[in-house]
Amino acid sequence: MTATEEIKRRRTFAIIAHPDAGKTTLTEKLLLFGGAIQTAGAVKSNKIKKSTASDFLEIEQQRGISVSTSVMAFEYKNKKVNILDTPGHEDFAEDTYRTLTAVDSVIMVIDCVKGVEPQTRKLLEVCRMRKTPVIVFINKMDREGRDAFDLMDELEKELKIKVRPLSWPIGIGKTFKGVYNVYEKSLNLFTSDEKQTIAESVEITTLNKENVSQYLNEDFTNTLLSDIEVVETVYPQFKADDYLKGDICPVFFGSAVNNFGVRELLNCFVDIAPYPLIRETEQRMVDPFEPKFSGFVFKIFANIDPRHRDRIAFLRICSGTFERNKYYFHNREKKEMRFSNPTAFLAQSKSVIDEAYPGDIVGLYDSGNFKIGDSLTEGELLHFKGIPSFSPELFKYVVNQDPMKTKQLQKGLEQLTDEGVAQLFTKKQDGRRILGTVGALQFEVLQHRLKSEYNASCGYESIQLHKACWIKSDDKKHLDTFMQERSNYIAFDKEQRPVFLAESAWLLQMAQEKYPNIQFFFTSELN
């Protein structure tokens, strides 16, 4: 198979949703249909001690939530499918936003009972900014939820998107009978014992009373025929080009926990979803079909396997072919590097690969060379755009609760903050360490991981801060004066760059007015 053919068969996408919409369960079932796993783990089951393939952190398995993006790949219908399962919890949105820079399309999961939720709106806004194609999967149709037409109206009104149902539910909750697959023109009948089986579909080339009434009673038959007539009249005809441009969102209905509607979603997805797209850098546009390799790091993960203390940098390949043991140019470090054991992922399962193509996500073993946003090329200087960095909003002092484990705590803080979920600052005056995050749950996750992965006990003390601002000045004398006069509020980040810790919005404004030669930055990218 040629490189062009390999690129065109790639489908790289993220699954996004509000917490508890069933995102991780859907990921599991996609892997199940793709043959990548044999049995799906029940996320919330206490009876069976399985956990989902994509939630491999101990805290994820305990709490039944995803706190980190997982990367998985499988083959389906001669397509190479790369799934990135993202955290739904808003405290970990930063990880999700970065992940959206590494995908070409998105599947958004909506709970039919709750409808559109706050995190759904935020995530869709990011997709709209990037013009990322979105398919909507309305989940949990086996529960008593909202009317399908009401859900369509809510999607259009709340998310400001055009929708087009490509499947349509027959009943809901206790009366849920299945879906009519508009895209494939087939009837899929639901039975509630389908968790371990796959529903059979009945092809219906002509949707009429005679054909449908063989499978449904008169009431359900009449309702379905009436609903589909409204769907075909009210909603625009589906055109793949409109979807690829981000102008319309196809909608599917199903129940991921029951395996229902997932195969239809996957069949349509591999058919219409885009293969790897052109990527924007500060220097130029990068075409995936270019012969020379390029890629960027969008995520770093410490201890993906705690037994071996692995630190992995996740690299999205943007052009050319990545080859094992070949030297590549690290743009920020300005040095050549080669990788003897690049890996592909099925959650925590890893396999060494010899080559990979645009759209693929490759794991590179990292001893501290990479930061999020770093580029690898065959020599050209390229800086890929759009990888967000957030100024922390919540701050706490770090307290070492076991002085015998000081080294472990230091190492753990260094490595875990490299992942980008929190930022570490050291105060100039007394050397105390401060953690800054964008969400409260991140403190709990860091504390848990420090204990379980580094055997270090960490506590927190409150600190009242409004913002952490990186400071810079063309006049070194002015900068030194500012840092001396405000030494109480000066800290350094991990790269030893000075940071101003503003206790309130008013104090920040006063500092900006009093020191006009000092530049204040609200992200750590000082450009």
pLDDT of residue 65: 39
Q: Where in the chain is the domain with CATH 3.30.70.3280?
A: 394-521
- Tens digit of each residue's pLDDT, the chain (527 residues): 899 999 999 999 999 888 888 888 898 888 888 775 554 443 333 333 334 444 444 444 444 434 345 678 888 999 999 998 776 445 455 667 778 889 999 999 999 999 988 878 878 887 887 889 999 999 999 899 899 999 999 999 988 899 999 999 999 988 888 889 999 888 888 876 555 455 566 777 788 888 888 888 999 999 999 999 999 999 999 999 999 999 999 999 999 988 888 888 999 999 999 999 899 999 999 999 999 999 999 888 766 555 555 678 899 999 999 999 999 999 999 999 999 999 887 644 668 889 999 999 998 988 778 888 899 999 999 998 876 666 777 899 999 999 899 999 998 888 888 777 788 999 998 999 999 887 777 788 888 888 888 889 989 999 999 888 899 998 889 899 999 999 999 999 888 889 999 999 999 999 999 999 999 987 655 43
- Bridge partners, residue 330, by sequence: 335, 376
pLDDT of residue 192: 63
Architecture of the 279-377 domain: 3-Layer(aba) Sandwich (3.40)
Query: Cα separation of 420 and 162, whole Å?
Result: 34
Q: Where in the chain is the domain with CATH 3.40.50.300?
A: 7-69+86-272, 279-377
Q: How far is CA 26 from CA 40, 51, 243, in A?
A: 10, 14, 21
Task: Annotate 334-362 with DSSP letters as a single string.
Answer: TEEE--S--EEEETTEEEE-SEE-TT-EE
pLDDT of residue 304: 58
Q: Give me the sign of the Cα torsion angle 34, 62, 315, 364.
A: negative
Q: Which residues contact 272 (CB under 8 A, 6 or more apart)?
A: 240, 243, 244, 250
Backbone angles phi, psi at 152, to 5 degrees: -60, -45
Helix (H) or strand (E) holding 251: strand 249-253
Architecture of the 394-521 domain: 2-Layer Sandwich (3.30)
pLDDT of residue 151: 94
* The residue type at 67: V
Tokens of 39: 């049995």
Architecture of the 7-69+86-272 domain: 3-Layer(aba) Sandwich (3.40)
- For 187, counting Cβ atoms within 10 Å of its Cβ (0-12 exposed, 13-18 middle, 19+ buried), the class is buried
Tokens of 190: 């639901």
> What sections of 246-314 are H helices per DSSP?
262-272
Q: Give me the sign of the Cα torsion angle 307, 312, 314, 317.
A: negative
Helix (H, G, I), strand (E, B) or coil at 410: helix
Nearest alpha-carbon partner for 56 in 88, 24, 82, 98: 24
Query: Cα separation of 180 and 33, whole Å?
Result: 20
Q: Which residues contact 516 (CB under 8 A, 6 or more apart)?
A: none
pLDDT of residue 419: 74
Pairing of strands 467-472, 423-427: unpaired
Q: Which residues contact 76 (CB under 8 A, 6 or more apart)?
A: 33, 34, 35, 266, 270
pLDDT of residue 317: 96
pLDDT of residue 213: 86
pLDDT of residue 90: 54
Half-sphere exposure of 13 (CA within 13 A, CB side): 27
Q: Which residues contact 234 (CB under 8 A, 6 or more apart)?
A: none
Nearest alpha-carbon partner for 99 in 127, 80, 131, 64: 127
